[in-house]
Amino acid sequence: MSSVPSSVAQPSRPLTRNDYKTLSLAALGGALEFYDFVIFVFFAAVVGQLFFPADMPDWLRQVQTFGIFAAGYLARPLGGIVMAHFGDLLGRKRMFTLSIFMMALPTLLMGLLPTYAQVGLAAPILLLLLRVIQGAAIGGEVPGAWVFVSEHVPGRNVGFACGTLTCGLTAGILLGSLVATAINSHYSAEQVAGFAWRIPFLLGGVFGLVSVYLRRWLHETPVFTELQQRKALAAELPLRAVLRDHLGAVTISILLTWLLSAAIVVVILMTPTLLQKLFGFSPKQALQANSLAIVFLSIGCIGAGHLADRFGAGRVFTFGSLGLGVCTWLLYHVLGDHPQWLFPLYSLAGLFVGTIGAVPYVMVKAFPPVVRFSGLSFSYNLSYAIFGGLTPMVVSLMMKTNPMGPAVYVAAVCAMGVVLGLYLLAKRR
């Protein structure tokens, strides 16, 4: 992997008050924007009922609903490549702010969409279009956020910074889960299907405006500023340099993102719906357990980043992937006979999902600053488009023959995570 040239490496110093301010604002803004992106999945069941024909088989409706959810992931590479290109040439902060505008408006419009009963086929088409725009926005947001915070802190704290930012992103999922829990607790199923499902999307538009305001207080990263002053910015298309000179870094980043996407999409985003379908939990019970799991996930992200700084990412992925695979397997295989174990098992699985907090640590160190945004964004978004986007449909199809399909899928990807951890350990990274 490429190392950071000393001329633009972060100095070795303690974290300052400004560092903590930057991390806090970036994490909070990321939480509000990520809420906009994931709130869709918490209302997947009701959206499927409202935006597709009533006589459609339930399994097909689920596949098509998750297909629209996946469209957001499939759109990520294009948005990520474009934003990263200008992020490497014009500055991290500008793209970090632009992504919010492209997220808030579609979320607001989703809350105003007519349903299939009102406009027919136009309803799912409009929903798909808005989801694609959201995907393009998040494609620039997540890699940009990791690059932004990692270039603001000393090199020895990159893991902690990336883990904290990832904690902020997962807090956005928690916010979505809490809002969904509140909606399902306060309104009846008929009211949710009638109008209440719109509330979280409308709130998302407001959250987007709050994020725009928050990011006014952030400053350009010292690393990019020095590159700019030294006129050392990329002299060619940054992505071309990435593909020519850094294919090894791209490969390891793609595989780590596959691990990240499997953990988030299956264990955190899909499991609340599957708990209801497979084990008969109420929406309220499933979402409450999910909220607790995300709390532990957020703690795990910071812990994984800190441990990567101290012991290296290899050990974190070796033990973290093993723990995640075992805990997810237990979650899906034990609840049928012991539903009372839902909260402790889901919480433990959520803690090990926090292993993903070390993923950006590896990726930001894999690329030199001059093409860091483009390299990280291309690898992350291409992988998420392929693996994150297709995972919901693959798992849904697996479940037609094996109800434990989600656990099998996660276990297989975690086995790859252990291998990656051992590889990084051998390379002492």
Residue 138 has pLDDT above 70, yes or no: yes
Pair 402, 409: CB distance under 8 Å: no
Please report whether residue 388 resides in a domain: yes
CA atoms of 222 and 226, how far apart (whole Å): 6
Q: How many domains are there within the chain?
A: 1
Could you tell me which of 337, 273, 262 has the C-alpha nearest to residue 59?
Answer: 273
- Most confident of the following: 43-47, 81-85, 98-102: 43-47
Please report whether residue 164 resides in a domain: yes
Residue ranges in 151-233 assigned as alpha helix (H): 158-186, 189-194, 199-214, 222-229
**CA distance between the termini of the chain:** 10
Please report whether residue 78 resides in a domain: yes
What's the angle, vertex CA 288, arms to CA 209 and CA 124, rounded to 5? 55
Could you tell me which of 99, 322, 96 has the C-alpha nearest to residue 217?
Answer: 96
335 backbone dihedrals φ, ψ, rounded to 5°: -65, -30
Provide the pLDDT confidence category of residue 316 given band limits of 50, 70 and 90.
very high
Residue 120 has pLDDT above 80, yes or no: yes
What residues make up the domain containing 177?
17-426
Could you tell me which of 329, 327, 373 has the C-alpha nearest to residue 351?
Answer: 327
Q: Look up the CATH number of the domain holding residue 414.
A: 1.20.1250.20
Other C-beta atoms within 10 Å of 153: how many? 25
CA atoms of 395 and 304, how far apart (whole Å): 27
> How do residues 162-200 score in pLDDT, each as one tens digit?
999 999 888 888 888 889 888 988 999 889 988 999 999
Pair 111, 50: CB distance under 8 Å: no
Task: Indicate the range of 209-218, 297-306, 323-332, 380-389 predicted with least confidence.
Answer: 209-218
Of the two residues 207 and 124, the one the predictor is more confident about is: 124
Task: Indicate the range of 53-57, 183-187, 354-358 predicted with least confidence.
Answer: 53-57
Tokens of 62: 């689920």
What is the average per-residue pLDDT within 358-383?
Answer: 90
Please report whether residue 178 resides in a domain: yes
Which residue's structure tokens are 């024909």? 53
CA atoms of 256 and 166, how far apart (whole Å): 14
Residue 161 has pLDDT above 50, yes or no: yes
Other C-beta atoms within 10 Å of 31: how many? 23
Tokens of 14: 């303690």
Please report whether residue 261 resides in a domain: yes
User: Amino acid identity, residue 320?
Assistant: G
Please report whether residue 381 resides in a domain: yes
What's the burial of 109, exposed, middle or buried (CB within 10 Å: 0-12/13-18/19+)? middle
Q: What is the pLDDT of residue 5?
A: 40
Residue 124 has pLDDT above 80, yes or no: yes
Q: What is the pLDDT of residue 302?
A: 95
Other C-beta atoms within 10 Å of 91: how many? 18
Quick check: helix, strand or coil at residue 172?
A: helix
Please report whether residue 327 resides in a domain: yes
Residue 220 has pLDDT above 70, yes or no: no
Please report whether residue 4 resides in a domain: no
Helix, strand, coil tally for the chain in percent (to 5): 85, 0, 15
Q: What is the pLDDT of residue 55?
A: 76
Residue 3 has pLDDT above 50, yes or no: no
Q: At what angle do helices 158-186 and 359-366 cross, to 10 degrees?
A: 140
Query: How long, in residues, is the chain?
Result: 429
Cα torsion 294, 257, 99, 36 to 10°: value is -30
